[in-house]
Chain A
Amino acid sequence: MKSLHDFHPLVIFSYFFAVIGLTMFYMHPILLILSFTGATVTSFLLLKKSFLKSIKWLLPFMLVAAILNPLLIHEGETAILYVNEQPITVEAIVYGFAASVMLIAIIFWFSAFNAVMTSDKFLYLFTKVSPAVALLISLTMRLVPLFGHQIKKIMYAQRAIGMDPSSGSVWHRIKAGTRILSILISWALENAIETADSMKARGYGLKGRSTFSLFRFDRLDGIALSGIFILFIIQLLCSYFGWNEFYYYPTFSPIVWDGPMIFMTISYGILVSLPIFIEVLEAFKWRSLKSIN
């Protein structure tokens, strides 16, 4: 077994692509709740503390969405009150709530994605799509912290000869700030030529550039990828047959626990909880290894 982080970037990307895509697509309440739970637990397992910090603003957000939607949308049969002679309906409230659950699930899936998909994995995949642009991004990634550092140096250097950017009126500060930016840009552009020379000196621009990475696709990656693929296809088929249809307007469609519904729910449940299985198994393995030693 290996932890989520250790899977091949292609596996990680396919997984989140499938899950996020389906989450965006499904408005069925059962499926929404499954995805929401999966997303919450996964990002908690991956992010721990910073996840707990980020959930503070969620409740108010969900409430606002639940209130905003009925104020704007007046469809639905079950009116509970009238504002400006427009009905406020239960359906619209529930819809607003469901939509915010979906949005939060997406946000959580993305935060898990960001935790697992580090820059080198992302760039590895991008390299497959467009090597030249990937190199451009990689260069930019290298330059951003460099510039951050340099801009600090410039600010200090300027201050230490009495050219201070951090005092005076707002306008004065904006102007002084852009002067600093201007020094930075001079520095960056002039030095860029030297870095470009270093690229050319190492053969950049020759025909037949290859790409290298530290990632290897092993058997477990193969198993995981085919699993994800099968589960995704199942969901697509379910949509094709319309098993996941659910209407909020004019009023809620009924949820019937027949065969197709149960099948769909279980297979979706497996899909959204894959990372949880993987992380928990991994944790157990380490604990048992520890207890042996």
Chain B
Amino acid sequence: MALPEVKQTATEARLATLTMPEAGCTRAAREDALARVLEMGLPGRRDEYWKYTRPDTLISAEQPHAALFHSDEPLLFGNLDRLKIVFIDGVFSAEDSDDLELEGVNIDRIEDICCKDIHWAKELYGVLESRGQSPVQRPLAALNTAFAADGVAIHVTGKPTKPISLIYRHASETSDAMLHHIIRVESGAEVTVLENGPAASRFNKCIEIDIADGGTLHHVRAQGRDHERRAATHMFTRLGQESVYKSFTLTVNGILTRNEQVIELTGDDAIAHVAGACVGDGDFHHDDTVFVTHDAVNCESRQVFKKVLRNGATGVFQGKILVKEGAQKTDGYQISQSLLLDDDSQFLAKPELEIYADDVACSHGSTSGAIDETALFYLRSRGVSVKDATNMLTLAFLAEAVDEIEDEELAEAIVNRLEGWLSRHI
């Protein structure tokens, strides 16, 4: 079917600004992805899946602009022993990165997976993204597969002693970057992957994660604080039997963020938890879009998203749990909540369940509310100032999401970031 003219034009204009990397063995996957983009077209305002978030500035051909954020706060995860992999405006920086050597894991740049003949990587690149295009189209992810110029392939075969930390620095105020990572966690292996930083003025990032039977991946991410930055991210995760995926995202500032999580539980007894906390002010727009497919028996999925919004900020949540026929004993949970600190801010939520098995427990809930005046008075009556009381109640509201982070040190780092935002804004 031919695309509508507006969409066709916008897609062509954007494609004209991009060059597909040479990269030998991913070339076929990239060509396939480009074909998907041409067939779907880039997202437009009329697309149901983009009803609450305007995609215009994510796909425009013009160079994006975003001033850099400056802060005196200590670096996030700064004191943590971790393996650092640094990208500046979307380009790997060997100089700023650690040696990519760590027991239990092999790390290579995507551009090297061909010359090194890394089979698993060649077989994964673009595959989960392609699977994730149905039943809902995700053209920005296909665009990423086709054009991402950099990224790493992480092969986890053991239990590395420290986290792998992907650091995204933003240096140019007009940078437009795409990164594509692939991660394979082997049977019984376990790893923690951290991500932080704004990456670029406009950032399109895709990660494909394949977790084999009994593998575990912990993911904690903090998106950059540059006020005008834009980001569209996708994480496609496939889980094998008894495998575990736990992901947490913190978003502080950013004019536009769309985070998609596409999770497929394909082995029995697998567990997937995704959580997010965001705090935004003014023209902040934040969209969490999650799609969890249960396609095996006795799996557990959990979505916990909390948003604090003020001064006209907007939060979006589109979360779906799809339980396929035969996925009995599914335990699916989904909660999305917003704390609106004034009447100008808004939260748009679309929780969905679609269930084709008859022996499952699935629940979803979504709420929007203001600060609890009774609790505020209670705190004030004990001598706590309005500002401190509001901060305490705001952090308490976010706690349920932050508590999803298992590692206490990481959770504390996240709480510090939130406290920093609160002290600047409330």
| Bind each other | no
- Could you tell me which A residues sit within 8 Å of B by CB distance? none
- Could you tell me which B residues sit within 8 Å of A by CB distance? none
